């Protein structure tokens, strides 16, 4: 096993009584539940540096796909078909791109400093698809001036993301999320994206506080994470698709996500029933710096 850390409850941010969830622990990776807050988390994740290459997202996601295909070929096939259908219905637009374009258009309409371009950051930007496609639409269809920024810990993915945003004078920092955001001035961004990222972050509350610092007053952030409280997790138990070892280190419910966000100075703008349906494996929210 790679060099690992020992974490306290990420929501309590201190050493609290906890219990090991043996059913969900696997291959030496220990899933714990904080007895005070109920928060579920991986106690012993690898150090940040391991996610640059050894446990880089592009490697672990492929390994997980192969494992699930071998273990449950029918379920895997149905899941792939469902994802394909959703992409077709969206006309191949990434769901986060649709949301980002809508939010940035509204920010462009209401902002006071309209002479300067909007600045937005994708934290955990992967290969830069969301940044690039969002800019393609903002600039190509609506003529909105914006500059895309990204933070990505995987060395390989950071290179691809940098190439994707180069035509728009964008910048991608290869770093862990907190270190990457630290390199920007306070109150620098209008909008932040954390899509399928916060579940990977070893220090989620320090990251949210850092994001709060780097957003302008009134700035927005979109967060998407797996929903540990979903019906599918309760039914599928250890076979739930939201378990990824060792790169999913936080397991949120709607309540624990809300508690963490509000504790870091944000106000939830949107997190309706359709954004956190019990039948969905994922949940979304839009938050505002106030």
Domain with residue 157: its CATH number is 3.40.50.150
pTM of full prediction above 0.75: yes
* Within-domain flag for 140: yes
Spatial CB neighbours of 38, under 8 Å, sequence gap ≥ 6: 253, 256
pLDDT-derived band at 115 (thresholds 50, 70, 90) equals confident
* Within-domain flag for 200: yes
Mean pLDDT, the chain, whole residue set? 91
Handedness of CA 85, 89, 94, 96 (dihedral sign): negative
* Within-domain flag for 21: no
pLDDT-derived band at 279 (thresholds 50, 70, 90) equals very high
pLDDT tens for 146-190 read 999 999 999 999 999 999 999 999 999 999 999 999 999 999 999
* Within-domain flag for 136: yes
* Within-domain flag for 1: no
Strands of the sheet containing 18-20, edge to edge, are: 18-20, 31-34, 40-42, 250-251
Q: Phi then psi for 73, rounded to 5 degrees?
A: -60, -40
* Within-domain flag for 27: no
CA atoms of 175 and 151, how far apart (whole Å): 6
Number of compact structural domains in the chain: 1
Handedness of CA 36, 38, 41, 44 (dihedral sign): positive
Q: What would the two tokens of residue 66 be?
A: 């192969």
* Within-domain flag for 37: no
* Within-domain flag for 240: yes
pLDDT tens for 9-66 read 999 999 999 999 999 999 999 999 999 999 999 999 999 888 888 877 677 767 666 7
- pLDDT, residue 91, reads 54
CA atoms of 66 and 98, how far apart (whole Å): 29
Query: Residue 108: which domain range?
Result: 92-289
Residue 89 pLDDT > 60: no
Nearest alpha-carbon partner for 104 in 133, 127, 129, 125:
133
Residue 82 pLDDT > 70: no
């Amino acid at each position: 096993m790679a060099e690992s850390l020992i974490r306290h409850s990420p929501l309590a941010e201190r050493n609290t009584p906890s219990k090991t969830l043996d059913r969900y622990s696997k291959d030496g990776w220990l899933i714990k539940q904080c007895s005070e807050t109920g928060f579920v988390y991986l106690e012993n994740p690898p150090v940040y540096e391991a996610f640059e290459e050894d446990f880089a997202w592009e490697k672990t996601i492929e390994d997980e796909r192969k494992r699930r295909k071998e273990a449950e070929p029918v379920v895997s096939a149905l899941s792939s078909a469902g994802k394909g259908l959703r992409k077709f219905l969206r006309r191949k637009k990434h769901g986060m791109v649709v949301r980002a374009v809508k939010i940035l258009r509204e920010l462009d309409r209401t902002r006071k400093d309209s002479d300067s371009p909007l600045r937005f950051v994708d934290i955990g930007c992967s290969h830069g698809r969301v940044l690039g496609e969002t800019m393609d639409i903002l600039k190509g269809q609506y003529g909105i001036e914006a500059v895309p920024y990204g933070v990505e810990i995987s060395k390989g993915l950071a290179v691809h993301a940098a190439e994707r945003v180069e035509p728009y004078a964008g910048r991608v920092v290869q770093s862990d999320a907190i270190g990457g955001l630290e390199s920007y001035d306070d109150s620098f961004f209008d909008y932040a994206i954390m899509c399928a990222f916060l579940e990977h972050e070893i220090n989620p509350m320090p990251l949210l506080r850092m994001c709060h610092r780097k957003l302008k007053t009134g700035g927005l952030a979109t967060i998407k994470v797996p929903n540990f409280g979903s019906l599918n997790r309760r039914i599928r138990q250890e076979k739930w698709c939201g378990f990824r070892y060792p790169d999913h280190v936080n397991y949120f419910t709607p309540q624990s996500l809300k508690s963490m966000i509000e504790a870091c100075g944000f106000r939830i703008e949107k997190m309706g029933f359709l954004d956190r349906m019990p039948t969905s494996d994922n949940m979304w929210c839009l938050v505002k710096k106030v």
